[in-house]
Chains A and B, each alone.
Chain A
Amino acid sequence: MELTTDRSEGTAVLRVQGRLTMAAAGELKAAVDREVADGRTLVVVDLSGTAFLDSSGLGALVGGLRSARAAGGDLRIAGVGQQVRTVLELTTMDRVLRPYATVEEAVGAGR
């Protein structure tokens, strides 16, 4: 997995390129926690370049959501592909991590 971050006032966009699986889950969770600790409590995870998600990666997203909410913010996911959507639907976690079509929509959806 390759992780790139775009920061603006109060918001961080984390772009996950590759597979978000066991090997990458810890890194993503740590990155979300870092942004939240620095005051960027609206975290958008751009999954448009994410080829594969497993339950460990999903756990990292949930953990990040918890961190962001605990700080009064939110974690939103955007740009999910077919496989990621499959995992969200089969675990019914699309109720909790509702996918936004684009990063812009996720950022603009209010707080």
Chain B
Amino acid sequence: MPGADGAAELRVDGPAEPAWLDEVHDGLARLWEAAPEVPDLDRLRFETAVIEIATNVVRHTVPVGDGPVRASVLLRADRGRLEAELTDDGAPVRVDLDPGPVDDFAESGRGIALVLRAVDSLSLAREGDRNTWRLARDASA
């Protein structure tokens, strides 16, 4: 799995369903095995952000034609830089990447704010016929 340049990279594809989220969790565990130098603080924050976005894909993306939506996550750790690209072939999604604060007792609406605090950058674009999320975090060490 470690690339020729020392980067660790792997991909997890599947239908955008809860079982895929389990596979993404497993994929992250494999990434850390291949990149043991990543500090705990960065690992936990990146992992939290990736799962949050993957869950958003499973929960909110609707298929264009006959289901299910196909999703893919590419995970990469390269000399302290952590990157994830999540894409899916669902209908275009619109997500507010600058959400306002939610009430302390609200039961939802914290996901994107959590991601924004856990990583250095987050973007969502429609590229061709795929929704494309990109996340990156530079390790603090």
Q: Enumerate chain A interface residues (CB-CB to B < 8 A).
A: 19, 21-23, 52, 54-56, 58-60, 62-63, 65-66, 82-83, 86-87, 90-91, 93, 95-96
Contact = CB atoms under 8 A, between A and B. Distances in A.
Nearest to A89: B117
Interface string B11-44: 0000000100100010000000000000010001
Contacts of A55: 52, 55, 108, 110-111, 114
A62 B107 contact: yes
Contacts of A60: 107
B96 to A, nearest CB: 15
B51 interface: yes
Contacts of B51: 21, 52, 54
Tell me what chain B mostly uses at the interface: helix, strand, loop, or mixed: helix
Interface in B78-113: 104-108, 110-111, 113
Contacts, number: 67
Given A62-B106, A96-B105, 13 more contacts: A21-B55, A54-B48, A54-B51, A55-B108, A56-B55, A62-B105, A83-B44, A83-B48, A86-B44, A87-B48, A90-B118, A91-B114, A93-B104
Interface residues of B, number: 24
Interface in B40-96: 40, 44-45, 47-48, 51-52, 55, 58-59
Contacts of B44: 82-83, 86
B59 to A, nearest CB: 7
A57 B104 CA distance: 15
A91 B105 contact: no
Contacts of A82: 40, 44
